[in-house]
Chains A and B, each alone.
Chain A
């Protein structure tokens, strides 16, 4: 009983400075979320092109890089905006420090975005032969149409490290015990597959049933394994005292608990069942609804996982 009557093992802080609070906020959540879409559509797009003839997916060649381009630019914009000195971003290129995953990631993401832009330009002008007939850019793009197929394997290969480097940044954030490399790497991969399939579902209205079925399959697998990963971490992180103390911000109820379970149920479980159903019975509207829910859920889950470790007192 005495151990409950007095603070036998716990001291009380009676004077200290306030805790710094959340440093990486919604902009970093949005950054990771947008990057998952930007890289995921390339990875899932490559899978579809491997499985199906491109005639089954007529707009994929230019709309895949278009979605990737838009979301990569959202990712880059919020990366820049979150910096306290945005113009000094150039220092990453002028004074790179290669042990930092931020540096390696920034270089890879810049190269990736540049290559996706080239693919978009070629893909767009190929798909719209009457657009910009007198433009020099359109002429050069059409003349080098085969360049798209040449760089595509390299872009697919690059999409993996670009989507994963944030997991290494989180691993380098030694202060945050919740973020462990193997778990974060797997979460990022599932996030890319989820976001990529969801992104492509939006433009798959005119595609063959079989290709849409494959998209539903990828979405189902990605939502299921994302859910299982989060459940594993939510219930079985008790080996580390810091991780357990961090998860207490979710376990104990409150806004993060609500946000987390909202993400799990509406973002992962419901889209999983909708996607599985869609594999048997083709319903474009329902599949799009599942994709939207999955994207919302992914954002919320990432938001909770990013913020709760920052609430823990470190010293």
Chain B
């Protein structure tokens, strides 16, 4: 079995349902994304169009992140998923430097590398990934690409010539495919980023959920610090003024 993913960009309408479902299912912290939907405008008015590109880990067959990880925190599952063991991760960020798709982030709560796992925990229980279930237009297709009769395999066969992967020249052999994509949507070098494209530049983390800018000293002291116990009272007593100005 080799699990693969296909997104039909002709169907995606940019509702970001998959993004939200992923956040909720995997408890992805503020300011981090396992899956994101990028809006790209092409052309000039009135001949302009907007396309939506969901971006997640490609679960490459020859994954640079798996290769560079010094402790096998990133590892293959039998079904082809590139999984993360956060309890083993040392936080060297080698995987972040290696992934050609920018799909890995440093979790600000655990200070370990994290990424999309195709919801490996759900797949193990026979369920589909959260982003697949939530998609209102069934633009996300997930399944066994080793099985010629699976939905994804038939979809790939039906759209031969239009199926693409990101950065094939990197020889990572991605197992995440796109239908309806083009150079302008899949190649970041073919896109301009004009100031103001992001709403999330200044994310402030509350003290009790971790701090992405924690100091070097904190990293060494962390094992010896006792966690502050949280109850409803602590939220009632929360000092909003201390965090004014953040988003």
Which residues of A come within 8 Å of B, CB atoms?
Answer: 6-7, 9-20, 23-24, 81-89, 91-92, 95-97, 99-103, 106, 169, 172-176, 241-242, 245, 310, 313-315
Q: Per-residue 0/1 for B59-70: is the Cβ within 8 Å of any A Cβ (1 yes, 0 no)?
A: 000001001111
Residues A11 and B90 in contact, CB atoms below 8 Å apart: no
Partner of A11, one of B40, B94, B99: B40
Q: What are the 4 tightest A-B residue pairs by CB atom distance, in nearest-first order?
A: A84-B91, A314-B102, A15-B39, A174-B64
Which of B3-11, B134-142, B191-199 forms part of the interface with chain A?
B191-199
Which of B42-50, B116-124, B152-160, B232-240 forms part of the interface with chain A?
B42-50
Which residues of B come within 8 Å of A, CB atoms?
Answer: 33, 36, 38-44, 50-51, 55, 64, 67-72, 88-94, 96-103, 105-106, 111-112, 166, 170, 172, 183-185, 188-194, 197-201, 216, 219-220, 223
CB pairs A–B below 8 angstroms (19 shown):
A10-B192, A13-B40, A14-B40, A84-B106, A88-B88, A91-B70, A95-B71, A95-B88, A100-B69, A100-B70, A101-B68, A102-B70, A102-B94, A172-B64, A173-B97, A175-B97, A175-B99, A245-B189, A313-B188
Give the distance in Å from the alpha carbon of A185 to the alpha carbon of B96 in the complex. Answer: 22
Partner of A13, one of B102, B105, B193: B193
Interfacial chain A residues near B90, Cβ < 8 Å: 83-85, 88-89, 91-92
Residues A315 and B71 in contact, CB atoms below 8 Å apart: no
Interfacial chain B residues near A242, Cβ < 8 Å: 189
Partner of A12, one of B41, B68, B91: B41
Min CB distance, B246 to chain A, in Å?
Answer: 15
Listed residue (A6, A20, A176) with the most chain B CB atoms within 10 angstroms of its CB:
A20
Interfacial chain A residues near B184, Cβ < 8 Å: 9-11
Given A24-B97, A175-B100, A315-B101, A12 and B67 contact (CB-CB distance below 8 Å): no
Interfacial chain B residues near A6, Cβ < 8 Å: 43-44
Residues B64 and A173 in contact, CB atoms below 8 Å apart: yes
Given A13-B38, A101-B68, A174-B172, A315 and B44 contact (CB-CB distance below 8 Å): no
CB-CB nearest in chain A for B42: A11
Residues B92 and A7 in contact, CB atoms below 8 Å apart: no
Give the distance in Å from the alpha carbon of A196 to the alpha carbon of B95 in the complex. Answer: 31
Interfacial chain A residues near B88, Cβ < 8 Å: 88, 91, 95
Give the distance in Å from the alpha carbon of A310 to the alpha carbon of B93 in the complex. Answer: 12
What would 14 more interface pairs be, CB under 8 Å, given A16-B198, A86-B219, A102-B92? A9-B184, A10-B191, A10-B192, A13-B38, A14-B39, A82-B92, A84-B112, A85-B91, A85-B111, A100-B70, A172-B94, A173-B68, A314-B101, A315-B55
Interfacial chain B residues near A11, Cβ < 8 Å: 40-42, 51, 184-185, 190-192
Residues B192 and A16 in contact, CB atoms below 8 Å apart: no
Listed residue (B68, B100, B102, B192) with the most chain A CB atoms within 10 angstroms of its CB:
B68
Residues A83 and B102 in contact, CB atoms below 8 Å apart: no
Give the distance in Å from the alpha carbon of A91 to the alpha carbon of B112 in the complex. Answer: 14
Interfacial chain B residues near A169, Cβ < 8 Å: 68, 94
